[in-house]
Amino acid sequence: MLRLSCSPPLLLALPANLRILRVATRFYSSQDASSAPASLTINGKAYPSDSWTNVPPSILKHYGRQLHIQPNHPISITRKLIESRFPGFKNHNALPPVVTVGQNFDSLGFAPDHPGRSKTDTYYINKSTVLRTHTSAHEVDVFRANESDGYTISADVYRRDAVDKSHYPIFHQMEGALTWDRNDYPSNQALLDQIKADYDKLPRHDLVVEDPNPTFHPQRNPLQEQHHSPEEAEIISAHLKRSLEDMVVTIFNEADKALAAAGHSSEAEKEPLKVRWIEAFFPHTSPSWEMEVWWRGDWLEVLGCGVIEQPLLIRSNVESRIGWAFGIGLERIAMLLFGIPDIRLFWSNDQRFLAQFEGGKPMKRFVPFSKYPAAPRDVAFWLPKTDSTPTVAATPASTSSAPSSAGGQSTEPAITITDTPAFHENDLMEVVRNTAGDSVEDVVLIDRFTHPKTGRESLCYRVTYRSLEKTLTNEEANMLHEQIRQELVTKFGVELR
Ligand code: DAH
């Protein structure tokens, strides 16, 4: 936990209704549910626990921070900047994170066996209740309330994930959607004309756009034939893409200005901004895309989007509406807007961090304050023998509950030890996080092999300890590391090497 003696823990500065009143839980892994307490109390409400419960205290202690609405917080400044590109949209910024499995998955059309539902990826409060894994969890409710044609939803979202400089189990997303109501128009042509007129009113930009594929493709990116005419899908998609292009132009121009102001103008001017549209799959949209931005020498996934699945709108009782939606991760955008090098910094209460940001002023690059030394430690172990020998699989980002884009996560396919009764890599990540908290910078698999005779798997991970607020002594790093080693033995029955 990042705390400085001069600044009180932010949790206590929050109104009582945002605090966790009582957290009656302890950490247990997704495989160790027998020791679950009878209930979890979150924000004053008790939820019965069951064999699905896997929310650790390290997660709950961040509950209520609401970085996206803290004045002058970089996440909040980023949110406002994006919101400003969608005038007239209703902005929902206070939707609480506890949602039903129905809201998070079923309402969006996630298949019953979608990997995102797994306990290794999602924080379950109990079998029917989760900490939302994405802001899309609120789409149906907001459509059903039918208060505005356009809306955004910004919120904290929760995923069991790797530990490194760009991954944190809590991050922030913004959902955006815009629909047109067929009932508002005397004819289909009048509706098409209106969307076209709205499209023509969108700000123009000089961005280089690579968009090589047709708007829809029967196998790769289908039109919802039963519900939309090709003309409708075309114009909605054109409106969607231009709106989002405009948004990234704004963001990246701001980032360039901040770079120039910090004296890095040559870097900023190196290459013109360009974006590309990549066909994608989401249960809640079709056709769908991810947008990537060429930024300082790399293609960067920025967001996911598409034409809203009509069954979702029908379920929301707004069957006469058609339109588009997108989801964007705010951390990644904030990191590149301000040049913030480590995702843990967002949670810092350190004034050397917080005092650097001011909303309503020209963006300024983050000036790193001194880094404390890193203490890497390796842990190697044999996996327990199981009938199903674990295999290492590359999990494509699109199979997770959310694409890497909206999660602000890496574009590399994650190396994942596929589910076995005994060990999943995310369990290790959680042991690390629960033991060492924010004192761990990252955890990487550096070696694995299978014993030629016994067939047993051996894994070796490097855990890099580095606190953002002090130098960790050797003894402290050793102690944390030893605790982690022992937890691995007791929770997963691994054999240390
Ligand atoms: N919910 C998706 C996620 O978390 C992101 C997303 C993709 C949202 C496409 C959307 C969308 O609204 O249309 O990864």
Instruction: Tell me, yes or no, whether 392 lies in a domain.
Output: yes
Say if ligand 1 is within 6 A of residue 64 CB: no
My answer on whether 23 and 139 are in the same domain is: yes
My answer on whether 146 and 244 are in the same domain is: yes
Say if ligand 1 is within 6 A of residue 159 CB: no
Which tens digit of pLDDT belongs to each residue from 236-270?
Answer: 999 999 999 999 999 988 888 888 888 876 665 56
What CATH number corresponds to the domain at position 179?
3.30.930.10
Whether the full predicted model's pTM is greater than 0.85, yes or no, is no
Say if ligand 1 is within 6 A of residue 175 CB: yes
* Site to substitute for ligand 1 among 117, 121, 136, most atoms within 8 A of C-beta: 136
- pLDDT of amino acid 392: 42
343-359 mean pLDDT: 93
Strands (E), 84-183: 90-92, 98-100, 124-126, 129-131, 150-158, 170-181
Say if ligand 1 is within 6 A of residue 105 CB: no
My answer on whether 393 and 427 are in the same domain is: yes
Q: Which helix (H) or strand (E) holds 281?
A: strand 274-282
My answer on whether 142 and 256 are in the same domain is: yes
480-489 mean pLDDT: 95
- Residue 445 pLDDT more than 50? yes
27 SS3 class: coil
- Residue 377 pLDDT more than 50? yes
Say if ligand 1 is within 6 A of residue 56 CB: no
48-66 mean pLDDT: 92
90-110 mean pLDDT: 98
My answer on whether 330 and 389 are in the same domain is: no
Q: Which residue's entry shows tokens 């539902």?
A: 117
Nearest CA to ligand 1 atom 14: 402
> In terms of pLDDT, which residue wins out, 63 or 4?
63
Residue 406 tokens read as: 């909206």
Instruction: Tell me, yes or no, whether 178 lies in a domain.
Output: yes
- What CA–CA distances, in Å, run from 330 to 39, 136, 304, 333? 32, 14, 13, 5
462-471 burial: b if 16+ Cβ within 10 Å, else e: ebbbbbbbee
Strands 298-308 and 321-329: antiparallel
Atom of ligand 1 nearest to the CA of 406: 14
Residue 70's pLDDT band, with cuts at 50, 70 and 90, is: very high
My answer on whether 395 and 468 are in the same domain is: yes
Say if ligand 1 is within 6 A of residue 403 CB: yes
Which tens digit of pLDDT belongs to each residue from 192-237?
Answer: 999 999 999 999 988 999 999 999 999 999 999 999 999 999 999 9
Distance 328 CA to ligand 1 centre (A): 7
Nearest CA to ligand 1 atom 5: 327
Percentage of the chain modeled with pLDDT above 70: 84
- Residue 335 pLDDT more than 50? yes
Distance 385 CA to ligand 1 centre (A): 38
- Residue 7 pLDDT more than 80? no
- pLDDT of amino acid 262: 82
79-103 mean pLDDT: 97
- What CA–CA distances, in Å, run from 203 to 58, 105, 245, 306, 419? 44, 35, 10, 20, 47
My answer on whether 47 and 191 are in the same domain is: yes
My answer on whether 326 and 425 are in the same domain is: no
> In terms of pLDDT, which residue wins out, 252 or 37?
252
My answer on whether 132 and 228 are in the same domain is: yes
- Residue 357 pLDDT more than 90? yes
Across 122-126, 162-166, 279-283, least confident range? 162-166
Say if ligand 1 is within 6 A of residue 408 CB: no
- Residue 427 pLDDT more than 60? yes
Say if ligand 1 is within 6 A of residue 116 CB: no
Nearest CA to ligand 1 atom 6: 327
Say if ligand 1 is within 6 A of residue 406 CB: yes
Say if ligand 1 is within 6 A of residue 305 CB: yes
Instruction: Tell me, yes or no, whether 407 lies in a domain.
Output: no
Say if ligand 1 is within 6 A of residue 327 CB: yes
Q: How many domains does the chain have?
A: 2
My answer on whether 148 and 23 are in the same domain is: yes
Nearest CA to ligand 1 atom 1: 136
* Site to substitute for ligand 1 among 114, 161, 175, 290, most atoms within 8 A of C-beta: 175
Name, in order, each residue with C-beta under 8 angstroms of 178's C-beta and a sequence gap of 6 or more. 86, 89, 149, 150, 239, 240, 243, 323, 324
Is 38 exposed, middle or buried (CB count within 10 Å of its CB: 0-12, 13-18, 19+)? exposed
Say if ligand 1 is within 6 A of residue 323 CB: no
CA atoms of 402 and 122, how far apart (whole Å): 11
Distance 136 CA to ligand 1 centre (A): 6
Is 101 exposed, middle or buried (CB count within 10 Å of its CB: 0-12, 13-18, 19+)? buried
Instruction: Tell me, yes or no, whether 368 lies in a domain.
Output: no
Across 53-57, 88-92, 395-399, 485-489, least confident range? 395-399
Instruction: Tell me, yes or no, whether 369 lies in a domain.
Output: no
Instruction: Tell me, yes or no, whether 405 lies in a domain.
Output: no
What CATH number corresponds to the domain at position 429?
3.30.70.380
Distance 397 CA to ligand 1 centre (A): 13
- pLDDT of amino acid 90: 98
Which tens digit of pLDDT belongs to each residue from 263-305?
Answer: 876 665 567 789 999 999 999 999 999 999 988 788 999 999 9
Q: Indicate the residue among 307, 326, 357 that finishes a domain.
A: 357
My answer on whether 332 and 380 are in the same domain is: no
Instruction: Tell me, yes or no, whether 480 lies in a domain.
Output: yes
Residue 456 lies in domain: 375-399+416-496
Across 107-111, 146-150, 329-333, 452-456, least confident range? 452-456
- pLDDT of amino acid 288: 98
Q: What is the mean pLDDT of the chain?
A: 85
370-391 mean pLDDT: 80
CA atoms of 292 and 304, how far apart (whole Å): 9
- Residue 408 pLDDT more than 70? no
Atom of ligand 1 nearest to the CA of 133: 4
My answer on whether 191 and 59 are in the same domain is: yes
Nearest CA to ligand 1 atom 8: 327
Instruction: Tell me, yes or no, whether 156 lies in a domain.
Output: yes
389-423 burial: b if 16+ Cβ within 10 Å, else e: ebeeeeeebbebbbbbbbbbbbeeebebbebbebb
Say if ligand 1 is within 6 A of residue 172 CB: no
The amino acid occupying position 282 is F
Residue 404's pLDDT band, with cuts at 50, 70 and 90, is: very low
- pLDDT of amino acid 363: 86
